Chains A and B, each alone.
Chain A
Amino acid sequence: MSAFTIATSIDEATALMAEGARVVAGGTDLVVGHRQGKAPLPEQVVAIDRIAELTGIAPMADSNAGSNGTNSSGVRIGALVTHADLMTDATVVGSYSALADGAALVGSPATRNAGTIGGNIMNGSPAMDTGSPLVVLGARFELVSARGTRVVEPGDLWTGPGETSAADDELLVACLLPPRPRSSGSAYVRLEYRRAMEIAVVGAAASIGLDDDGSLASIRVALTAVAPTILEVDGLDDLVGRAIDDQLLSAVAETARSQAVPISDLRASDEYRRHTVGVMAKRAVAAAAARARGEHLAVPVNRSVGIGASVSISGGSE
């Protein structure tokens, strides 16, 4: 078997993985991981970036998406879809906005151009910007190996920092997103010290559904970089039926803080993370609710809510 293969089909890639090969797509995490000695590349590497079956964002049949009381179908996002694709795709921006928000904050234009959603998911970082959006949007992941196919929930895939439950021979082929309920919106907000080439200090994603009278019909919130994996906040269903006001936002913030189990590292102390993740959760819910009401908040929503100062070469910065 060759030390390097450029695969052109899922079957070819998974056959090589069954023999011990490791896959590479954009390389942004893998090549660095190899050089740092954290995760050396094996004798056999298979490039998957030319497998057409892994590309594209396409509508999927309702039977795959799960019923959500709507007629629209969900979407299937191929593992090779890049962050640059996600932040500009009309369906993702319009209906799965939190995912576009997250993708638009990753790295730089070069990183977003090379880095794929599949790589981001399988890298399993608790700080990944697409992670909490995927959780609140109800994403599921399709894994294929020479042994068969299975679909897993995010909570069953991510088992720890940089760890997944996927076997070595399993290839993530797609991310499946269910249809969105009517009058819904989503947003992802992160705390950052600079606008580019940044990793989330903390972050939060929210998905909100509204009743006809503007009260809360559904809510999901997930937190970034405050636990060993992306953390979905429990116990928010009690808020359903209430108006989206300051009291509700404060309740979300307090619940998020009470469930966060952050670490201290070079980016922030555990205390600071616990406090700020509540602020991010509150802002994410407010932004998701605004989108659910039909307000236009451009991607990434971070800029709309005032995180990251606006810059001007002539000195008129805000």
Chain B
Amino acid sequence: MTTSISYLLTVNGVDYPVSGANHLSLLNAVRNQVGLTGTKEGCDDCECGACMMLLDGQPINSCSYLAAQAQGREITTVEGLSDGLDLGPLQQAILNAGGVQCGFCTPGMLISAKALLEENNSPSEEEIRIGLSGNLCRCTGYTNIVSAVQSLAAGGYDSEPESG
């Protein structure tokens, strides 16, 4: 038996207490203890990208990152892309483009797209495809997902949620 350790995780700007073994993954901590289940577990093997979160603004596969290692860092999940009332611009764009089929890859796709657009607000199609290359869509609906990101890139992405 491994000793349980306790610490705080800052998810979407709010501190949550977490405890568990030292090998508890960030994905399990956020889904099962923080209670934010927007992030999905796909392969649990660092292959599919369904579990993508931002750590200090950079995308990581949360299934393969120790929760305890994320102490003191800013964690952003798909829930953080909305203000809780209105959809954020990325969420609205993927809805408009019909980029959601079964929806399982969508949270990870949005996180990768967010990381890409924060770094480059008008990426080319090639840059979008590279930015999303760690996210698998088993419905193979890539075309509309790429279109959704392109629709934001065309106008120059602005991270602020749409007003009104």
Which residues on A are within 8 Å of B, measured CB to CB?
2-4, 6, 24, 26-28, 31-32, 34-36, 41, 43-45, 47, 49, 107-111, 113-114, 195-197, 311-313
The answer to whether A110 and B52 touch across the interface, beta carbons within 8 angstroms, is yes
The answer, yes or no, to whether B69 is at the interface (CB within 8 Å) is: yes
Chain A residues contacting B64 (CB-CB under 8 Å) are 27-28, 31-32, 114
Which residues on B are within 8 Å of A, measured CB to CB?
2-5, 21-23, 25, 44-47, 49, 52, 58-61, 63-66, 68-69, 71, 112, 115-116, 125-126, 129-131, 133-136, 143, 146-147
Chain B residue nearest to A311 in the complex (CB): B129
User: Can you name 5 A-B residue pairings with CB atoms under 8 Å?
Assistant: A24-B66, A27-B64, A27-B66, A35-B23, A311-B126
Known: A109-B133, A313-B125. 10 other contacts (CB 8 A): A24-B69, A36-B45, A41-B22, A45-B22, A108-B134, A109-B112, A110-B49, A110-B52, A110-B58, A313-B143
A6-B71, A313-B125 are known contacts. Are A43 and B2 too (CB-CB below 8 A)?
yes
Q: How far is the CB of B112 from chain A (nearest CB, A)?
A: 7
The answer to whether B49 and A34 touch across the interface, beta carbons within 8 angstroms, is no
The answer to whether B22 and A109 touch across the interface, beta carbons within 8 angstroms, is no
Chain A residues contacting B23 (CB-CB under 8 Å) are 31, 34-35, 41, 45
The answer to whether B69 and A108 touch across the interface, beta carbons within 8 angstroms, is no
Chain A residues contacting B44 (CB-CB under 8 Å) are 35
Chain A residue nearest to B119 in the complex (CB): A109
Chain A residues contacting B21 (CB-CB under 8 Å) are 3
Chain A residues contacting B52 (CB-CB under 8 Å) are 110
Chain A residue nearest to B146 in the complex (CB): A313
Q: How far is the CB of B56 from chain A (nearest CB, A)?
A: 10
The answer to whether A32 and B45 touch across the interface, beta carbons within 8 angstroms, is yes
A4-B5, A32-B64 are known contacts. Are A109 and B25 too (CB-CB below 8 A)?
no
Chain A residues contacting B4 (CB-CB under 8 Å) are 3
Q: How far is the CB of B49 from chain A (nearest CB, A)?
A: 7
The answer to whether A110 and B143 touch across the interface, beta carbons within 8 angstroms, is no
The answer to whether B61 and A110 touch across the interface, beta carbons within 8 angstroms, is yes
| Bound CA span A246–B109, Å | 45
| Bound CA span A196–B23, Å | 27
Q: Which of A4, A34, A43 contacts B68 (CB under 8 A)?
A: A4
Q: Give me the 7 closest cross-chain CB pairs, A-B, nearest first.
A: A108-B134, A196-B133, A110-B59, A3-B3, A4-B22, A31-B64, A3-B22
| Bound CA span A273–B59, Å | 34
Chain B residues contacting A28 (CB-CB under 8 Å) are 46, 61, 64
Chain A residues contacting B126 (CB-CB under 8 Å) are 311
| Bound CA span A108–B116, Å | 12
| Bound CA span A31–B29, Å | 14
Chain A residue nearest to B150 in the complex (CB): A313
A43-B3, A108-B133, A110-B60 are known contacts. Are A31 and B25 too (CB-CB below 8 A)?
yes
| Bound CA span A227–B64, Å | 28
Chain A residues contacting B3 (CB-CB under 8 Å) are 3, 43
The answer to whether B134 and A45 touch across the interface, beta carbons within 8 angstroms, is no
Chain B residue nearest to A198 in the complex (CB): B133
Q: How far is the CB of A16 from chain B (nearest CB, A)?
A: 13
Chain B residue nearest to A35 in the complex (CB): B44
